Amino acid sequence: MKLFAAEQIYAADKFTIEKQQITSDALMEQAAIQIFNWMHLRMQGAPVKIHLFCGIGNNGGDGMALARHLQEHGYNIGVHVVNYSEKRSKDFLINLDRLKDRKIWPNFIDSNCEFPEIHKDDIIVDAIFGIGLNREPSDWVVNLIDHLHKSEAFVLSVDIPSGLYTDKISTNEKAIVKANYVLSFQAPKLIFFLPDTGIYIGQWEVLDIGLDPEYLSATEVEYEIIGKNEVLPMYKPREKYTHKGTYGHSLLIGGSYGKIGASILATKASLKIGSGLATAYVPKCGYIPLQTAVPEAMVLTNSEEYIADISYKIEPNAIGVGVGLGTEKETVDAFSKFLDSNKLPLVVDADGLNILSENKKLLKKLPENSILTPHPKELERLIGVWKGDFDKLKKAKAFSKKYTCVLIIKGANTITLFNGKVYINTTGNPGMATAGTGDVLTGVITGLMAQGYDSLSAAIFGVYLHGRAGDMVVEQVGYQSLMASDILEALGDAYIDLFKVPEQAPPQQEQQQEEG
């Protein structure tokens, strides 16, 4: 799914208004009706007090229009205009008049006013700022936001939590509304998926407000979120008259004394994801553990406790290097020598990345389209420290461009970057924050490349399947007990799940379930 920049949303807005020959307030009305329907379906006329805090721009306009619909359906509302500027938008004013026509007199709040009392069982609709925020809110608005938080009432934010910019990090975290739920118009926003800003969003949902679909599909974007719909077209089915040679040979280079488990996990993952053959290249101390733990794999050994040379006579189709590798001087030299002769794009993880960070000149030896899979600390060693997520993305993009590599930034919402584009994964959960899950990912991606997936597809699809396996297995084992081996076991389920159509309960039924 595409993630649009604020300017692209404004442009789509303008295009839709012209094409459909409607007024901008008609579009606002559509947006407000969508929010109203969402609330009405869930609240069914419940007499809960709803406080609507509306700014003076179009986000506030949405709030005013929503207030009118709520009032018409008998809801118990309080409308507060957060009067932070004299420059009120045209559609805000139209909706303010429509409220007044219905004898609803909003309470105007400015720097000198007392804030309204809010009970913790009330509902707050946050329509203070939307995607138009362009400077830090005044102190009294920050105080108001603090007042909203102190009430502990449920916060429903319109479009985005007020106080978040769409393209930079706020300097004042107190100026940002913490939303329990965000109803976002037309498409989710990038900030929902980044660690610095995602913390302000409990849950989110997209409401279709009718922006022109053709315009949106023709609009090129930098950011995309990856779910089942995006990965399904990548899937390569298995044909009847094929054999193990058809599905490639994965080579996993890594392991050192005390870290042989990493090689076991990665090697096993490459087979589990469908590689026809797999070879583990490990120091001799890994021979018996590997042959025992993964009888399906072949094992090549070198040296005793860590790898001191990388040479082999096999012809792998994909190579993953780095898990449990260690950073001994001889290992570094072996890796460097290996890079001189190797032509295959690599999957580099863990100590492979640490060696690259310590010896940046080696980066130039990476074949084009290699995949680097750093977690945030490894990324920092590669690209240096960053100031906030947007700076991180900028630096990561520049790095991926400079070395023509696919960069996978692991974490909640793992981000894959390549060729100036950014793909944000939607699977995975905090249960996966546990030893060895990254090793499994390395094996998964290597195994996909062995089967002929190009680097970018292997990265995006691998990250998706790895996270999906984590999501499926966490339902059985729980967050705390999830271990990397559990993800391995669930990889098959993640494949099968690709072809399951989600069961959608009709709204009526959904309602009954919620009540029951």
- Which span (35-43, 134-142, 267-275, 278-286) binds ligand NAX, by CB under 6 A? 134-142
89 binds, among K ion, ligand NAX, ligand ADP, none (CB under 5 to 8 A by kind): ligand NAX
Q: Per CB under 6 A, does 375 bind ligand ADP?
A: yes
Cβ-based neighbours of 63, under 8 Å, separated by 6 or more:
52, 53, 54, 55, 79, 125, 127, 158
∠ CA(232), CA(233), CA(236), 5° rounding?
90
Q: How far is the CB of 103 from ligand NAX (least distance, A)?
A: 24
- Per CB under 5 A, 170 contacts K ion: no
If binding is defined by CB under 6 A, does position 158 make contact with ligand NAX? yes
Q: Could you say which of 81, 273, 277, 441 contacts ligand ADP (CB under 6 A)?
A: 441
**Using CA atoms, how far apart are residues 298 and 291, in angstroms rounded to an integer?**
7
For residue 509, count other CB atoms closer than 10 A to its CB: 10
Binding ligand NAX (rule: CB under 6 A), the pick from 3, 9, 293, 318 is: 9
CB burial of residue 485 (10 Å; 0-12, 13-18, 19+):
middle
Q: Among ligand NAX, ligand ADP, K ion, none, what does residue 326 contact (CB within 5–8 Å per kind)? A: none
Closest CA to 440 of 391, 477, 482: 482
Which positions from 71 through 100 interact with ligand ADP, judged by CB under 6 A? none
Q: How far is the CB of 10 from ligand NAX (least distance, A)?
A: 7
Which backbone phi and psi does 446 adopt, to 5 degrees?
-60, -45
Count each helix (H run) and each strand (E run) in the chain, helices first. 18, 18
Per rule CB under 6 A, is residue 133 in the interface with ligand NAX? yes
Q: Which of 4, 53, 75, 84 binds ligand NAX (CB under 6 A)?
A: 84
Taking the least distance from each CB to K ion, the nearer of 156 and 290 is 156
Q: Does residue number 157 form part of the binding site for K ion (CB under 5 A)?
A: yes
Task: List the single partner that 57 binds among K ion, ligand NAX, ligand ADP, none, CB under 5 to 8 Å by kind.
Answer: ligand NAX
- Rounded CA gap, 194 and 388, in Å? 10
On whether the CB atoms of residues 450 and 499 are closer than 8 A, the answer is no
Secondary structure string (H, E, C) spanning 409-462: ECCCCCEEEECCEEEEECCCCHHHCCCCHHHHHHHHHHHHHHCCCCHHHHHHHH
For residue 411, what are its two tokens? 């974490």
* Binding residue numbers for AMP: 410-414, 438
230 Cβ contact partners less than 8 Å away, ≥ 6 residues apart: 1, 224, 423, 460, 464
Which residues in 141-222 belong to E strands, given as ranges? Answer: 154-158, 179-185, 201-207
Select the residue interacting with K ion from 27, 158, 209, 264 (CB under 5 A): 158
Which entry of K ion, ligand NAX, ligand ADP, none binds 191, CB below 5 to 8 A by partner kind?
Answer: none
Could you tell me which residues are annotated as the binding site for K(+)?
59, 126, 162
List 281's β-bridge partners, or say none: 253, 300
Maximal CA-CA distance, the chain: 85
Does 374 engage in binding with ligand NAX (CB under 6 A)? no
Residue of the chain from 438, 443, 447, 462 that contacts ligand ADP (CB under 6 A) = 438
Number of residues in contact with ligand NAX under rule CB under 6 A? 30
Please, what is the minimum distance in Å from the beta carbon of residue 200 to ligand ADP?
17
Q: Which residues bind ligand ADP (CB under 6 A)?
A: 350, 375, 410-412, 414, 428-430, 432-433, 435-439, 441, 466
Binding residues for K ion, per CB under 5 A?
126, 157-158, 162
- Would you tell me which residues interact with ligand NAX (CB under 6 A)? 9, 13, 27-28, 31, 55, 57-62, 84-85, 89, 129-137, 158-159, 185-186, 209, 211
